[in-house]
Amino acid sequence: MLHLFFPFFSLNLYLPACKFFLMDITQRFPLNILLFLTFVPFICPTSTITDILTGALLSLKSDFTDPRNTLQDWSIKSETDPSQLQPTIQSCSWSGITCNANKTTLVSINLSGRNLGGSLSGKKLSFFRDLQHFNLSYNSFSGPLPAEIFNLTELRTLDISRNNFSGEFPGKVSFLGMKSLVLIDAFSNSFSGHLPGNLPQAKALEVLNLAGSYFSGGIPPQYGRFESIRFIHLAGNFLSGRIPPELGSLRTLTHMEIGYNSYEGGIPLEFGNLSEITYLDMADANLSGPIPKELSNLTKLESLFLFQNHLVGLLPWELSRIESLADLDLSDNLISGPIPESFSGLKNLRLLSLFYNSMNGTVPHSISQLPSLETLFIWNNFFGGSLPGDLGMNLNLKWVDVSTNNLVGPIPPRICSGGALTKLIMFSNRFSGTLLPLASGCASLVRLRLEDNSFSGGIPFNFSRLSYIDLSMNNITGPIPPEISGASNLQYFNVSRNPGIRGTIPAGIWSMPSLKNLSMSGCNIGGELPAFGSSCGSVSVIELGENALTGSIPEGISSCHELRRIDFSGNDLTGQIPQGIASLPSLTAFDLSRNNLTGLIPSRFGDSLSLRQFNVSFNDMYGSIPSGKAFISMDRSSYIGNRRLCGPPLRPCPNSVAILGSRSGAKGKLMLVLLLLCLGLVILTTLFVLGLFYFIKGRKRGSWKMISFDGLPQFTPNDILRSFEVSSAGGPVVSSKAVLPTGITVSVKKIEWALRKRMVILLGLINRMGDARHPNLARLLGFCHNREVAYLLYDYLPNGNLVERIGTNKHDWRDKLRVVSGIARGLCYLHHECIPPIPHGDLKSSNVVFDDNMEPRLTGFGLKHLAWLSLDSSAVAISDRDSEEFSSAIKDQIEMDIFNFGEIIVDILTNGRLAGSGESIQSKSKDVLLREICSSGNRFVPDGSVKEEVKLVLEIALLCTQRQAADRPTARDALKLLMEHKKPGE
């Protein structure tokens, strides 16, 4: 009544108080609202009578985080319209809010995709009793989902998908009052506990999506009682137990996805009663037993996905009765026997995927008659015989992969008749005949893999769109077509191990704009190497070994800055090694063995930070082998067969100048030498006495030694020790930072020798760690030690670690890919290019640091193994790859490195949202994980080529985090898979 007694009192001061007073009253006494509103004018201004819902929305907003200020229009306007005959809701004009026609009640709240966060209050939701649609999808809400939301009895759709709600899904509430609820979409959250069993009480429910969370236990048998359900999605959780046969009673169901869980037993026979089903996905669900023939009763089924299970037995011929079937994927199971001839009846089949099974027999002719077939995957089976002669005649065939079988005969002559074939993969079979079927009508081909067969004849096909060609290990004859120089899309070309090719290398081959890999080893190719122009910048691998090449290596090769591997071995090359090759920044392998080269080895090779393999054996090289770091790991085999070559690891180089020179003046020079010898003897005696004194003194407290590696000046131990406080506190490995006398800032890691008698072994490992140089490793610059402790000095990189920067590159997919690739390269170097290998041992995001160019570098590598050697008295020195220790301790750490790498990938992809979730992601589907990546705050749009790259990197993470270590790839394999994103058409 303030406005009656104090008309001068500011309306704005007490309006909010009235608003929340009304809210509280209406919540506590909803049955008396009408009576209460009669007296409201004596308490609050008339303009607030109808603002109860507006106030509730503002109260709801106060719990949200809104970094992009998308709810800026959610504010109260002071103007009122006194002519209104009935109360209206002011917030009806706000974004995301929909009211009924006369603006007297709120029917929809849609806040999808606004980057909102925070939690939901059940008390505040209770005001929206007329709400019909509630959409919070694509945000970052967290905390529990309030049970009060299911008291909104008028609610028709609830979409909270792609958030981070956690805890148990409200299941103890009654859904009987939810007579209008048709949709619940909670996809991609973090719910746990059991699936809510009371949901079938919502009689009108048509769509239920609880996929992509952490639900456990079994699927409630009550789910067979849904009366109106059309769509069920429960994939990508931790569900277990047997699939309830009661689900077969869902006669209205059209779409069911329950895969990417770990059930027991097989597919219920009762699923044959799902008469309306069109989409059935039970992939990666640990299912066993045979495929029930009862599934053939599903006459409306269009997509059946049962891949990556343990299904056995024959492929039921009865499935051919499902004439509507368009997608059939039974790959990665234990299915045996042939493809049924009756499959000719599947006139709508687009995808037939049977790879990774134990099937045999021949590919039936009827397969080639399927008019809609686009994709045929039957690789990794035991099929024999020849492919149907008419395969490819239909207009839709796009992708054929029949590799790794026992197939024989020629390429089907009409394979490209449809004009749509983009990928033809036939490697590792026993095919024969010529490549003439590819000469016409195959302009659509992008990827062609025919390696490891018995094909003969020339190379006749069109290069216009091809990006990947592998014809290696066949009987191909004739020269390389000169037209290849005009192949603007070709990235990978491999014809190695075809000794009948002969001819010469086409002159313009290095000008191909996309070429990255050229492999022509063992082809008897002659002539000289074509000149390298300025356009060879994309080439990274050149393999021309075991040919008959003559002439010299063109100087222009030094302009190919992306070169990583060069193999010119086994030719007749002459002349000298071009000096510019030694400056190639990425060169890791260089093989010139068994040629007729002469001259000096360019000394700049010794400065290379990338070179790991170098071979000039059996040439006519002379002079001294360069003494740089790059040559320390090379053994004699890299240089033998060069009788005039000297220096480690070969014979010492002879002195080229006599000490005393000519006889004239020899007497005076002899006296000078004797004088110098005497002076040296005095100096040595003095040093010996001083050394003895310091040795005796040092025996009491432990004398210090300083070892410097490449990149650190020659400091004394005192220089180092004065730069930081020496302390033994904190355990065996302690990290700190220090500034050395010249101003160099280093990161210091402290190692205590628990077993002093093992110092020789430990020092040997530290020296190998110091020799490890790679662009994606933080350098170990040196170490200072006595008989009790060692201080390891690393490059100090001030740009932070991956934990600190994990969410800063949400906008740029390329940044993420660069970080993942850099980590993979560093790990590959440690595992495969260090001999013996150095396990990282503690690979995690905090041990990935960034240099001045924001390139990732691994730090802390080898420290865990070093600590283990220091503590374990049974550990022995590692001398080679075959040692017992390598097969146990190092092997275990290397396998754990791979697992941790997979976890880091997931950490990067989800901006830290799924950090340390290596094991849990195995139970989620790739699609679920992909959507989770998209909902983790990333701003890049995952479609087109980017989506394929994200999928590829995610696939690598899943491989690396396999539960069985034997199923994980090596670091080299993981890096090779990562590089696949550069190969269109895979």
**Contact 261/240 with Cβ under 8 angstroms?**
yes
| Amino acid at the residue 828 | C
- CA distances (Å), origin 725, targets 722, 734, 766, 796: 7, 12, 22, 17
Which amino acid type is present at position 633? S
What's the CA gap between 445 and 463, in Å, rounded? 8
Determine the residue type at 514.
S
Alpha helices in 29-51 (DSSP H): 33-39
The answer for residues whose C-beta is within 8 angstroms of residue 541's C-beta and 6 or more apart is 516, 517, 518, 519, 563, 564, 565
Using CA atoms, how far apart are residues 939 and 935, in angstroms rounded to an integer? 9
Peptide bond preceding 836 in cis form (omega within 30 of 0): yes
Encoded amino acid at 185, one letter = D
* Structure-token pair, residue 276: 């309306």
Q: Which helix (H) or strand (E) holds 672?
A: helix 666-701
C-alpha span between 829 and 280 (Å, rounded): 45
The amino acid occupying position 905 is I
Q: Count the neighbouring beta carbons within 10 Å of the beta carbon of residue 199.
A: 23
CA distance 727 to 725: 6
Measured CA to CA, the distance from residue 293 to residue 21 in angstroms comes to 66
Phi and psi at 392, nearest 5°, equal 105, -5
Instruction: Assign 665 to helix, strand or coil.
Output: coil
Q: What is the largest CA-CA distance in the chain?
A: 131
- State the catalytic residues: 842
Distances (CA, A) of 812 to 801, 850, 930, 942, 979: 18, 17, 16, 11, 18
How far, in Å, CA of 751 to CA of 728, rounded? Answer: 9
Whether the bond between 499 and the residue before it is cis, its omega within 30 degrees of 0, is no
The CA distance from 558 to 562, in Å, is 10
CA distance to 345, 490, 699, per residue, from 319 (Å): 10, 41, 84
Amino acid at 780: L
Q: What are phi and psi of 894, to 5 degrees?
A: -65, -40
Q: Sheet containing 780-785: which strands, arranged edge to edge?
A: 705-708, 780-785, 789-795, 745-752, 733-739
Contact 390, 366 (CB under 8 A): no
Q: Which tokens in the block code for residue 975?
A: 């890096």
268-296 burial: b if 16+ Cβ within 10 Å, else e: bebbbbbeebbbbbbbbbbbbeebbebbb
Question: Which element (helix H / strand E) includes 324?
Answer: none
Which residues, in sequence order, are CB contacts of 729 under 8 Å at separation 6+? none
DSSP 747-809: EEEEEE-SSGGGHHHHHHHHHHHHH---TTB--EEEEEE-SSEEEEEEE--TT-BHHHHTTTT
